[in-house]
Amino acid sequence: MRKLRITIENKSYEVTVEDLTESEGYPGATPVARPNPHSAAPVAAPAEKPVKPDLPIDSGAVTCPMAGSIKSILVKVGDTVKQNQPLVILEAMKMENQITAPVAGTVNSMDIAEGDNVREGHVLLVLE
Amino acid sequence: MAISKQLLDDLDKRRSESRVGGGEKRHAKRTEKGQLSARKRLDDFFEANTFQEWGIHVDHGCHDFGMEKKSMPCDGVVTGVGRVAGRPVAAYSQDATVGGGALGQRHAKKICDIMEYALEAGMPMVGVNDSGGARIQEAVGSLAGYGQVFYRNVLLSGCVPQIGVIAGNCAGGAAYSPALMDFLIMTRQNANMFICGPQVIKAATGVDCTMEEIGSASANAAISGNVHFVAEDDHHAMQIVEELLSYLPSNNVGNPPHMPTEEICMDPDESMNDIVPEDPKGTMNMYDVIDRIVDTDRFLEVHRDFAQNLIVGFGRVDGVVVGIIANQPSVKAGTLDIDASDKGARFIRFCNAFNLPILTLVDVPGFLPGVAQEQGGIIRHGAKMLFAYSAATVPKITVITRKAYGGSYLAMCSRDLKADMVFAWPTAEIAVMGAEGAVNVLYRRELEAAEDKVAQREKFIDDYRQRFASPYMAASHGMITDVISPAQTRSVVSLALRNTLNKNETRPPKKHGLIPL
């Protein structure tokens, strides 16, 4: 057990660090990586493995997860995007939902405009 | 005066012959593909020298199709008991090098024997599945064998934890024994699980599909939700089983392996305040909240790839084991849909069966609207959440972080479903429906009569928000134990859990309730 002080953006946190490789009763048990769609807070998030898309994305189409209206579009055709980069803000269910890039790529085509009402499954844009 | 050397040599010889299974050649082929042998999988899992094998001398009893001339070491399955983190655990591991791991009558009897033992001695049951299915040469005998295994899966269900590993092909009947277990772990490569394969689907329906689409680990984990964990390889799969067991009691009579700390840290965690977006419409990543509640960031997520709008998994809070159920507002706005309801209800029922306290973190705007949801039976599926929470008698602690609207608020372990304590952040919005919708209904006439409809509507919405989109209306009704700052969350939850651990609630006896399946 070690005590450490970490300062992030002028706020300091006292943390106790336990070395799990030696003392823990369950050696080798690794925390399971999970998708982190986007972190809302700039605070130190635990390190996570990059998320692999689990199923092959054959078309590169980014579809709408639920019915709503397009609040804003954050990219344009031709833009290069990184994985998990926000592409579109979809207003639905009392929320402004970020639609993020499932994979890195280039925006090939886009079939929406701000203010459009879209249905679930609607192809918002296509990544290449 | 001593036992004859010949007898001991014979024993050694018999043992080593059995241990080879289907022969070095077959083993080498599998090693090339990155698969471990049936025995190595168990060796990896149990503490050294603790494995007591059952029935190493068993061979098949088939006299048809020339089988009488063949030997099947252990009849294709290794069974026994070993220790994991000091506790006994029963296991079977199918050996695909022996007749493809296919299940014959004695193979089935070995599995049934060890399952019955696990039940009577009250220890978890782990099954490593790697089998071509029923052994065709033994005909209906092997079919009956499957039935006997299924029956025992059900006997054990809710008494001891059952964990299945899918480490090879599991088709048809071979998929149903794991399906009756509590958690399934599947290796990313070398494993498939399906009822009807692509050829059968093509022949019956004319539809082309690939094994990747229907039977792979990713399809089972992300689309159908049959599988709870995807492992990178055999070794990782056994590690996940071990980690999972570290949160579970050995049986339904025992307590989970709590490791309560001597003191509960009551200091506020200011970083939690920074996670909450200022705009109620902004997205929050619920993983950030969970990571700050559980000890040392350790959260074992179950069903990670399935219905990601709801997060479920195990962690400890100051050493006390909890099952966490949380809406994820950054996926589908955190709505409850059919898959999320099934995922949540199943997890809640597991926690209740094995005495695991439940922590619910709420940020839910509603049930997901849609034709597919209604026609798919969201009423029936959403009802499972209500049923599971209401039926649970373990400690139930709820924290409403932001949105808690309508029926979905109730379905996330509200006070009315007998949550023991409900805490709300000042950002909580507990209401029957959103302001826009409510105003349209409440002020229809006034809005029709108004000169400036837009301005009037905005005003009504604003008023409604002020009054209802807060935790204080619900708090004034006594539906909230306390309104707390996000920074207090971990300490408040920890104290609440400690205080509730000895909860003992009894219900009227019955055979079983009727969860809307």
Q: pLDDT digit string (tens) for A81-102?
A: 999 999 999 999 988 999 999 9
pLDDT at residue A49 greater than cutoff 50: no
Q: Where are the domains of chain B?
A: 27-245, 270-434+469-500
Give bridge partners of residue A63 from the DSSP assignment.
A123
The answer to whether residue A47 neighbours chain B at the CB level (below 8 Å) is no
Question: Chain B residues with CB inside 8 Å of A25's CB?
Answer: 85-86, 246
Q: How many domains does chain A have?
A: 1
Q: What is the pLDDT of residues B171-226, one digit of tens each?
A: 887 899 999 999 999 999 999 999 999 999 999 999 999 999 999 999 999 999 99
> Which among B43, B286, B368 is the top mutation candidate for probing chain A, defined by the most A β-carbons within 10 Å of its own β-carbon?
B368
Question: Chain B residues with CB inside 8 Å of A34's CB?
Answer: 287, 301, 304
Q: What pLDDT does A19 receive? A: 62
What CATH superfamily is the domain B270-434+469-500? 2-enoyl-CoA Hydratase; Chain A, domain 1 (3.90.226.10)
- pLDDT (average), residues A65-85: 93
Q: What pLDDT does B435 receive? A: 87
Q: Which residue has the tokens 């859990």?
A: B497
pLDDT at residue A28 greater than cutoff 70: no
Q: What is the pTM of this model?
A: 0.88
SS3 sequence, B222-289? HHHCCCCEEECCHHHHHHHHHHHHCCCCCCCCCCCCCCCCCCCCCCCCHHHHHHCCCCCCCCCCHHHH
Nearest to B246 among A29, A31, A42 (CB): A29
- pLDDT (average), residues A34-44: 41
Give the model's confidence band at A42: pLDDT under 50 very low, under 70 low, under 90 confident, else very high.
very low
Nearest to B218 among A18, A54, A94 (CB): A54
Q: What pLDDT does B190 receive? A: 92
Give domain status of residue A79, yes or no. Answer: yes
Question: Chain B residues with CB inside 8 Å of A54's CB?
Answer: 218, 221-222, 230, 305
CB B28 within 8 A of CB B21: no
In percent, the amount of chain B with pLDDT more than 90 equals 83
Nearest to B162 by CA among B109, B197, B119, B104: B119
> Which among B283, B299, B318, B436 is the top mutation candidate for probing chain A, defined by the most A β-carbons within 10 Å of its own β-carbon?
B283
Give domain status of residue A102, yes or no. Answer: yes
Residue A70's domain is classified under what CATH number? Answer: 2.40.50.100
Calculate the CA dihedral of residues B492, B493, B494, B497 and round it to 10 degrees. Answer: 120
Distances, alpha carbon B359 to alpha carbons B143, B293, B420, in Å = 42, 10, 10
Min Cα–Cα distance to chain B from A75, Å: 19
pLDDT at residue B71 greater than cutoff 60: yes
Give domain status of residue A44, yes or no. Answer: no
pLDDT at residue A47 greater than cutoff 70: no
Give domain status of residue A71, yes or no. Answer: yes
The answer to whether residue A66 neighbours chain B at the CB level (below 8 Å) is yes
Question: The domain containing residue A73 runs over which residues?
Answer: 61-127
Q: Rounded to whole angstroms, how far apart are CA atoms B31 and B18?
A: 19
Give domain status of residue A50, yes or no. Answer: no
What CATH superfamily is the domain B27-245? 2-enoyl-CoA Hydratase; Chain A, domain 1 (3.90.226.10)
CB B298 within 8 A of CB A31: yes
- pLDDT (average), residues B368-372: 92
φ, ψ of residue B239 in degrees (nearest 5)? -65, -40
Chain A CA closest to residue B218: A54
Q: Kindly give, in sequence order, each residue whose CB lies less than 8 Å from that of residue B203, ignoring residues fewer than 6 positions away.
A: none
Q: Rounded to whole angstroms, how far apart are CA atoms B394 and B387?
A: 14
> Which among A24, A93, A96, A118 is the top mutation candidate for probing chain B, defined by the most B β-carbons within 10 Å of its own β-carbon?
A93
Give domain status of residue A94, yes or no. Answer: yes
Min Cα–Cα distance to chain B from A105, Å: 21
Cβ burial of B41 (10 Å; 0-12, 13-18, 19+) is: buried
